[in-house]
Amino acid sequence: AAVESAPAVVVGSGYGGAVAALRLGQAGIRTLVLEMGRLWNTTGPDGKVFCSTLSPDRRSMWFRTRTEAPLATFLWLDVVNKDISPYPGVLDRVHFDAMSVYVGRGVGGGSLVNGGMAVTPRPDYFAEQFPAVDVNEMYGTYFPRARAMLGVNSVDPDWFESTEWYRFTRTSRKAAANAGLKTAFVPNVYDFGYMEKEAAGTATRSALAGEVIYGNNHGKRSLDKTYLAAALGTGNVTVHSQEKVTGVTRAADGTYVLTTDLVDDTGAVTGTRQYGCTYLFLAGGSLGTSELLVRARDTGALPGLGSEVGAGWGTNGNTMLARANHVWDTVGANQATMPVMGIDDWANADNPVFAEIAPLPMGFEHWVSLYLAITKNPERARFTYDTAAGTVRLGWTAAQSAVSVGMARKLFDRINAANATIYRYDLFGSPSKVFADDFTYHPLGGCVLGRATDDYGRVKGCSRLYVTDGSLVPGNIGVNPFVTITALAERTMDRVLAEDTAP
């Protein structure tokens, strides 16, 4: 395999990778971005790039023969998941022993599949999680910069109160209020002006057509439309898709050498390549970056890496659950897929929880209120290298998930008691399962800022190696994480471009 070289290589094109690519490109540094997923810019036989949640096809999931949606069943019936043919689809569910992790695959990473909720964390909790970071600088400079670049906007409150598409949210808000709980609007990167046009019938429907976890064909300002478009616009950035980085090592002159697999639409490896670079930015997400670093340390490829690499991983306390409403409390057959409100009980020191009011668009009235609870679960786990299998394992246990469930249960028991309602038992596979405690949307940690790296994301023990993604966040941030990941990446790039790359 021939060695090509570039001054800078970025592994992964999610939030951390997109910020790194743009700021490197603007600084005039020729940069190569390597992404294992597809470039999602061509339409299928239906004229669309992405498929909808209600009729998934091969585009939905990463090399599967059947979809693995978060809600396994409805009325215990296996009606949600569908057989598909293997393909580099946009959503992956990575299975570890006691936890599975949903991640986006493609140029844009998680931005292609997520709910777009763009939440800035509470300053006090941010300071608790990142004691070495200047909070004033974050909230004065980097959070505003991240929100502006990501195209964050908010639903018009008047439209929200009147539209059928958010009846499900208003019903959940009422149930929370009956329990004396606070709710708050949450901004999003979905263009709400576009959504109002969808509702009026003057624009092609996306969020109002069940599109979200398998991609949005319209309306969503995913990274390919924001940071990555700007990065390509600098003329200094190249993106290679369907190319997976399998190993990182260092040449005698200190440059990094990456090995990649070229993966075709059937999943076959059609070739391997090698790249050399001076500056290496790891942004494969919490799983991707942790895997590369743990493997590099334990195989001796990067012997400088220390024991903090792979540590400090958490689920952001994620627990999904649903309540059954009374027949008169309808949620509506029509539901927008972009969440716009959360139940905010984080200030409750006994049981801090922030619960997103999630949509369940099935095209008929089902009286279900669905929630994704983010709990202040203090449990953390570690990635380890399994030498025999050549794979990375995650030490998270079912008992650690039970901590999140206990916290979510406390909050929702209150809501059920105040409304004389019950949980739904039919949504998560087995007969009496109320809490989906076996998956997370928010993998965080594995290369924590200030522990495995210095206070700016420079990996300890390896000069000119940087981490810019969710692996920097120590397992929990109390809200949906991509605004935090983006802002921290902006902060890292400011510092690195000022101090490390000067000629």
Where along the sequence are the contacts to ligand FAD (CB under 6 A)?
Answer: 11-16, 34-37, 102-106, 109-110, 113-117, 213, 244-245, 283-286, 288, 292, 441-442, 469-470, 480-482, 485
Question: Other CB atoms closer than 10 Å to residue 306's CB: what's the count?
Answer: 14
**Least Å distance between CB 292 and ligand FAD?**
6
- Return d(Cα 400, Cα 252) in angstroms, integer: 43
379-416 in b/e form (b: 16+ CB < 10 A) is bbbbbebeeeeeebbbbbeeebbbbbbebbbebbebbb
Tell me if 443 sits within 8 A of 101, measured CB to CB: yes
- Return d(Cα 31, Cα 126) in angstroms, integer: 31
Residue 244 vs 376, nearer CB to ligand FAD = 244
**Least Å distance between CB 279 and ligand FAD?**
17
Question: Other CB atoms closer than 10 Å to residue 193's CB: what's the count?
Answer: 11
Q: Report which of 50, 46, 54, 52 is spatially closest to residue 364, judged by C-alpha positions.
A: 54
**Least Å distance between CB 384 and ligand FAD?**
18
**Least Å distance between CB 101 and ligand FAD?**
8
**Least Å distance between CB 502 and ligand FAD?**
26
Residue 62 vs 367, nearer CB to ligand FAD = 62
Residue 130 vs 367, nearer CB to ligand FAD = 130
Residue 312 vs 325, nearer CB to ligand FAD = 312
- Return d(Cα 356, Cα 117) in angstroms, integer: 9
Tell me if 116 sits within 8 A of 225, measured CB to CB: no
Q: Which of 291, 366, 442, 490 is catalytic?
A: 442
- Return d(Cα 261, Cα 215) in angstroms, integer: 25
Tell me if 365 sits within 8 A of 310, measured CB to CB: no
Residue 332 vs 478, nearer CB to ligand FAD = 478
Tell me if 372 sits within 8 A of 358, measured CB to CB: yes
**Least Å distance between CB 57 and ligand FAD?**
18
E strand intervals along 171-299: 183-185, 237-240, 243-250, 256-263, 269-282
Residue 285 vs 361, nearer CB to ligand FAD = 285
Residue 322 vs 329, nearer CB to ligand FAD = 322
Q: Which of 291, 356, 379, 490 is catalytic?
A: 356
Active site residue 356: yes
- Return d(Cα 21, Cα 489) in angstroms, integer: 11
Question: Other CB atoms closer than 10 Å to residue 156's CB: what's the count?
Answer: 14
Residue 331 vs 485, nearer CB to ligand FAD = 485
Active site residue 218: no
Q: How many angstroms separate the Cα of 436 from the Cα of each of 54, 167, 282, 351, 353?
A: 20, 24, 31, 19, 16
Beta bridge partners of 471: none
E strand intervals along 29-99: 31-34, 91-95
Q: What is the DSSP letter of 421?
A: -
**Least Å distance between CB 282 and ligand FAD?**
9
Beta bridge partners of 10: 33, 281
- Return d(Cα 497, Cα 141) in angstroms, integer: 16
**Least Å distance between CB 418 and ligand FAD?**
27
- Return d(Cα 146, Cα 462) in angstroms, integer: 28
Residues involved in catalysis: 356, 442
